[in-house]
């Protein structure tokens, strides 16, 4: 039976199944789902636990051996089969189908953790049989439109409350990475008293702001057209030892987003709708900055800025002679509406974003 990750604890509280399949690539929810199964097993009196990590040339006969090994101290055990992103193959499929035949005569619990299961695999004989005897927990990334609500609910698990706008900012700051966002919530819970309601200012000051500047501040300065601030932030990032590819990634990401917005607007879509189509979605508080940048940076200029970014990417790889940090400074400055320091001859193809 299919059960989504947020419904799993309630399903386990009703009855501990003989099989739980946790499948997907989102690490936080995957980890939480497996932890919930382990906790439910302990609550049900299943104390013994054995683990099989599937690697290259894994001997699938070990699964049946583990299930047939009787314990001297317990009547049942939790068996974990960890596949990661390894494929079952024919041998693995046969082994699981064979194990499925023993379920009626076993008190053991089998927890299978694996990568994403496609529709074809869900129609296989082994999956259908195991699914009848247990739970299937598909783990998917949280959609951008739901991320703020998800993080708002998640904060309560750590003893703090968070405004919806603040939750959305947290999702934006952590790029939709649930594991990183959860770690930030844990840090904030340690800093603030239990029950504190966190607002946008709390997130802006507390999330990954241990350094004076960060790449998110740089992106904001470029979008808002603040060349002096952009220049200071680039120099600050360099002095703090931030890797140049991270800065280039942040700037390139904003350029591609702006190009995408232009394309949607050229198709007759509204600015609000164009913002909702982006991945991750542009939240309300950031839309004025993007709207300002759209008015300042036409398509032609954005294409030239992307050529500058491409040239810097080659410089990162040692395939171009452009000085890296001065080049990043010029890219940020021209995005923000200022002037760079390098001469045109420093940019092959005579790239100038101010033409």
Please give the full DSSP string across 180-234, using - where no structure is assigned: HHHHHHHHHHHHSPTTPEE-HHHHHHHSS-SSS--HHHHHHHHHHT-HHHHHHHH
Contact 98, 7 (CB under 8 A): no
Nearest-angstrom CA–CA distance, 102 and 332: 63
Structure tokens at 34: 């497996």
pLDDT tier for residue 72 given thresholds of 50, 70 and 90: low
pLDDT for residue 206 = 67
Q: Is residue 351 assigned to a domain?
A: no
Q: Are residues 116 and 52 in the same domain?
A: yes
pLDDT for residue 349 = 43
- CB-count burial class (<10 Å; 0-12, 13-18, 19+) for 63: buried
Helices (H) and strands (E) in the chain, counts: 17, 7
pTM of the predicted protein model: 0.59
Domain that holds residue 186: 144-206
Structure tokens at 192: 């603030």
**Which of 139, 163, 191 marks a domain boundary?**
139
pLDDT tier for residue 172 given thresholds of 50, 70 and 90: confident
Of 310, 308, 301, nearest to 354 (Cα)? 301
pLDDT for residue 283 = 73
pLDDT for residue 207 = 66
Signed CA dihedral, 66, 68, 73, 79: sign only = positive
pLDDT tier for residue 354 given thresholds of 50, 70 and 90: very low
Give the other-Cβ count within 10 Å of 249's Cβ: 14
Q: Is residue 117 assigned to a domain?
A: yes
Q: Is residue 9 assigned to a domain?
A: yes
pLDDT for residue 213 = 56
> For position 166, which CATH number holds?
1.10.8.60
- pLDDT beyond 60 at 15: yes
**Which of 206, 238, 256 marks a domain boundary?**
206
- pLDDT beyond 50 at 355: no
Query: Cα dist. 250→7, 147, 210, 232, 264 in Å?
Result: 36, 21, 18, 16, 22
Q: Which of 2-6, 176-180, 191-195, 213-217 is the most confident on average?
A: 2-6
- pLDDT beyond 80 at 340: no
- pLDDT beyond 50 at 107: yes
Nearest-angstrom CA–CA distance, 119 and 116: 10
- pLDDT beyond 70 at 330: yes
Q: Are residues 18 and 117 in the same domain?
A: yes
> For position 273, which CATH number holds?
1.20.272.10
Q: Is residue 318 assigned to a domain?
A: yes
Q: Is residue 355 assigned to a domain?
A: no
Q: Are residues 75 and 192 in the same domain?
A: no
- 134-145, pLDDT tens digit by residue? 999 999 888 888
Residues 167-173: what's their mean pLDDT? 84
Q: What 3-state class would DSSP assign to 77?
A: strand
């Amino acid at each position: 039976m299919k059960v989504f990750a947020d419904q799993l604890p309630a399903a386990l509280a009703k009855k501990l199944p003989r099989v739980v399949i946790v499948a997907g690539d989102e690490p936080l929810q995957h980890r939480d789902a497996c932890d919930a199964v382990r906790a439910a097993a302990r609550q049900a009196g299943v104390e013994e636990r054995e683990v099989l990590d599937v690697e290259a040339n894994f001997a699938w006969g070990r699964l049946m051996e583990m299930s047939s090994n009787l314990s001297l101290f317990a009547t049942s055990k939790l068996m974990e089969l960890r596949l990661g992103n390894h494929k079952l193959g024919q041998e693995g499929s046969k082994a699981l189908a064979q194990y499925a035949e023993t379920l009626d005569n076993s008190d053991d619990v089998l927890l299978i953790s694996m990568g994403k299961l496609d529709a074809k695999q869900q129609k296989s004989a082994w999956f259908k049989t195991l699914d009848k005897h247990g739970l299937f927990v598909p783990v998917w990334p949280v959609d951008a439109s739901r991320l703020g609500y998800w993080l708002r609910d998640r904060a309560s698990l750590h003893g703090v409350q968070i405004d919806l706008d603040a939750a959305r900012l947290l999702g934006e700051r952590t790029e939709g990475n649930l594991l990183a966002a959860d770690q930030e919530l844990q840090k904030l819970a340690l800093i603030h008293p239990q029950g504190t309601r966190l607002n946008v200012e709390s997130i802006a000051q507390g999330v990954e702001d241990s350094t004076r500047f960060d790449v998110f501040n740089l992106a904001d300065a470029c979008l808002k057209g603040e060349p002096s601030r952009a220049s200071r932030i680039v120099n600050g990032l360099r002095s703090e030892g931030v890797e140049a590819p991270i800065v280039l990634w942040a700037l390139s990401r904003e350029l591609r987003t702006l190009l995408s917005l232009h394309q949607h607007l050229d198709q007759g879509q509204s600015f609000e709708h164009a913002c909702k189509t982006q991945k991750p979605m542009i939240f309300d508080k950031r839309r004025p900055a993007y709207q300002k940048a759209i008015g300042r940076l036409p398509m032609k200029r954005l294409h030239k800025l992307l050529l500058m970014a491409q040239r810097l990417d080659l410089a990162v790889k040692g395939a171009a002679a452009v000085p890296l940090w001065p080049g990043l400074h010029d890219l940020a400055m021209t995005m923000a509406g200022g002037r760079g320091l390098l001469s045109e001859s420093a940019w092959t193809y005579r790239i100038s974003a101010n033409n």
